[in-house]
A and B are shown apart, each in its own frame.
Chain A
């Protein structure tokens, strides 16, 4: 049987990592906490095998990623429908440029923390079809090909979605960083 004390230490060690993966993939803190909990429940079921394993972090990341993608797949048809509709770049960028407040006139208020905060919010606010591949590429170190296989979409779509997501984030950076 699994020792609850040992498992608590295990959760304490990996909770930030698991939550970070979930919240970046889902863009929703409440759902991310639910997914993180589910991932740890799965870890508990296999704790005898993975508890002391050096591969525990990788195992948890994979499980959390799959759980989040499964969670998102409930909306997959809607996701594909909207993401594959032809849209011009101006239309694409509009919601986030409006959502990000204009920089304060006082230059001292625009420090690194503000920029990181704005970028994180913009990342979490991206639509699923842009945020998920972008997070997998930048934070989970997946290749375009791996992302395409994981999401069961074409390679071209992955590239396009990441490009569009990056364009939104660049716009946020430019806004929060001013013209320097």
Chain B
């Protein structure tokens, strides 16, 4: 991987005309102490586990099960926090709070926001992995 791929300027240049990216590659790399192998593993883990988290949130919201919403959102929030995904983290936190306070009146709206946010994040992470491939 070329070193400038992870420089913030390079990253900002790509996303300048669209919505701001959900995560900051440079910050994430710094967070793991510059260990690119660990970044790769974490991203792969996130890509592997987040659909399950999302599915559990979906079912819990549909069933109106506050406790299940809280637990599923909590797990997704934790994972999102680890890859530095601020938007997904925030929406997951909102859902977790709704679950904890047993007020699911806005849960469906939040879930509607969560789904595309997560999808976008996943695409960004997939791109990060592809760029990270040697050659």
Interaction A to B:
no
Name A's B-contacting residues (CB within 8 A).
none
Chain B positions near chain A (C-beta within 8 angstroms): none
